[in-house]
Structure 1
Amino acid sequence: MDMLRSFFLDPFVLSIVMGFLVFVFFYIRWPGILSFFKDKTFSSQKEVLKIVDMMMIKTSKEKVVLWLWSLGLSLGFLIFLACWPHLVLGLGFGALGFLFSWIGVQMVMRSLWEQRCDQVVNQMVEGMTIMTNGVKVGLSVTQAMERVIKNMKEGPLAQEFQLVLNKTRLGMSVEEAFNDMEKRMDRQDVTMMVVAINILKETGGNIAETLATISETIRERQKVQNKIKALTAQGTIQAVIVSLVPFLLLVMMFLTNKQHAELMLGTPLGWFSLLMILGLIIIGGVLMKKIVTIKV
């Protein structure tokens, strides 16, 4: 019994067994794995191109695609070199690095778009005030928007209003142009402004008073959101620190006790442990993010 146990716990035997299991898994699931990588990469590429277009970044589609492929291949190759001479480990982690680079760029672009939408909402307080004053002196909604563009030249709100005006000049109605803006921004405050303006243009009413009310509502909402951010800032920092602790411990182990670190990085059992640790860190980070995120 002891001989059997020592045989199965031998690192060489474990390496052969793990290698065989990995081979069988990839052999059976190879079409599905290729399809998964293809779907993830091309869906990420499609969303990145969409966000670049929505953010009005002046660049070509070919440059964005070239940049994405260059980043993914470079990261994958660097990971492969870092894992050398472990060929299987290098190929596996290199492929994951390539995939995560695309997903990472997608997440960064999505985050930048969310920040842009938040900037639009933050500027709406000043923008609605300018529009209110313009409507009070007899200007139409589109003319009041032109005043906002002139007074807020540097900012996403001016760009969004300019896009709405450009669409109306090409023959689209004001209501349709505002509805497109609402679909692009996906913010409650933008929806409130668009719905109010469209209804008042059809039924009539005091647009200036409505815009002033919207501006005051957005201002109060921002106060509440800033207070929530201040209260949840500690939880966010704690989540980041807890997520980084395992990686810092691995670096310290590699610097102080290299033999133990090589067992983690150079054996199948260590690779499996690293994947488990990475998965648990991701799950914990997502759960912490959901806990500290409070929508107003």
Structure 2
Amino acid sequence: MALIYSLIFGGAIFMLTYHYMQRFLDWMRFQSLGTRDYIVEMCGKMFIETTPNRVLLYLVCASVGPFILCFLAFLPKVVPGLVLGTLLAMVGWKVPKPIVNYMYQARVEKFNLQMVDGLNLMANAMKSGLSVVQSLGIVVEQMPNPMSQEFNLVLSENKVGVSVEEAFDNLSRRIVCEDVEMFVTAVNILKETGGNLAETFDTIVYVIRERLKVENKIKSLTAQGYYQGMMLLSIPPMLGLYFNFSEPGFMDPMFNNPIGWAILTAVAILEIAGYFVINKVIQVDV
């Protein structure tokens, strides 16, 4: 009878493992090579030349390096070094992704700020009788990066046979924001149906300028709350570092006792939750 129960239990475990194994493998691939592929894709959008192997090497160094340093720093205490080193290795593997996201968002914001001047140039050029492609050439010559890079790629794609509409669609996929989508949609629709592009560009410039005014005002109002929240979140780790250096034995129970580890884990979870709550409160869509 025990053998039958064992076979049934083993068969159930096998079926569950077989059913969820592919999902688990896909999740593992996304957490490992997915980060690499994402960074390579975002670097391509920012005109940063790199290769998957190079990005993978950087990710390995960013995770293995902190692990080794943390392990050596805690010697002869092996367990704290292994635990904290593993956490730092996981963080080191994931940190490049938000850094790349920050760089991409900074590029998008800079492009947004340049759209007012760039569209004014295009509107004036088209009022003087130039075509869309010719006005793009003027923007490429007179505007700095990233607008010059992006519009130059639009022109390059058009020269090799890509239609202007498709080239602008590619631009909207590289620079993901509402203003670029509005600009691309207006150009593509008016080129198909006909209309005054110069006046449309003037209208888009006015909308973007007013939206930026409102956005800057909201940022100035929410900045105080953000810095107050970051100050509060920094108090627990700063106190821990202070006691660790001023009274070296004062923090030992936190690392040598299961209750201490439980407290540290709870503090870390609350700190992370507090960070996301503060970010959620101060984020206002314009």
Trace 1:90-129 onto structure 2 (pairs within 5 A).
90-129=81-120
- Per the TM alignment, residue 251 of structure 1 is displaced from its structure 2 partner at its CA by 1.1
- Per the TM alignment, residue 78 of structure 1 is displaced from its structure 2 partner at its CA by 1.2
248-257 or 213-222: which moved more?
248-257
The DSSP-based 3-state class of the residue aligned with 2:130 is coil
Whole-angstrom CA distance in 1 between matches of 2:156 and 2:123: 21
- Per the TM alignment, residue 159 of structure 1 is displaced from its structure 2 partner at its CA by 0.9
In 1, are the aligned partners of 2:37 and 2:52 still within 8 Å (CA)? no
**Percent of pairs identical after alignment?**
36
What corresponds to 1:15 in structure 2? Answer: none
- CA RMSD in angstroms comes to 1.9
Trace 1:1-296 onto structure 2 (pairs within 5 A).
39-152=30-143, 154-296=144-286
- Per the TM alignment, residue 122 of structure 1 is displaced from its structure 2 partner at its CA by 0.5
In 1, are the aligned partners of 2:80 and 2:255 still within 8 Å (CA)? no
- Per the TM alignment, residue 215 of structure 1 is displaced from its structure 2 partner at its CA by 0.8
Whole-angstrom CA distance in 1 between matches of 2:98 and 2:159: 34
Whole-angstrom CA distance in 2 between matches of 1:37 and 1:127: 44
Deviations 1:32-74 (A, max 9, x none): 9998665423222121111111111133433222122112110
The count of aligned residue pairs is 265
Q: Which amino acid aligns with 2:179?
A: D
Deviations 1:3-58 (A, max 9, x none): xxxxxxxxxxxxxxxxxxxxxxxxxxxx9999866542322212111111111113
Deviations 1:229-265 (A, max 9, x none): 1101101101211111111010122133332211112
In 2, are the aligned partners of 1:86 and 1:266 still within 8 Å (CA)? no
Whole-angstrom CA distance in 1 between matches of 2:119 and 2:27: 46
Structure 1 runs, 4 residues or longer, greater than 3 Å off: 31-39
120-129 or 93-102: which moved more?
93-102
Whole-angstrom CA distance in 1 between matches of 2:161 and 2:256: 65
Q: Which amino acid aligns with 1:245?
A: I
5+ residue gaps, structure 1, are 1-30
Whole-angstrom CA distance in 2 between matches of 1:107 and 1:86: 32
Q: Which amino acid aligns with 1:175?
A: E
Q: Which amino acid aligns with 2:267?
A: I
Q: TM-score, normalised by structure 1?
A: 0.84
Relative to structure 1, the CA distance from residue 269 to residue 39 in structure 2 (aligned partners, 3 Å threshold; closer, same or farther) is farther
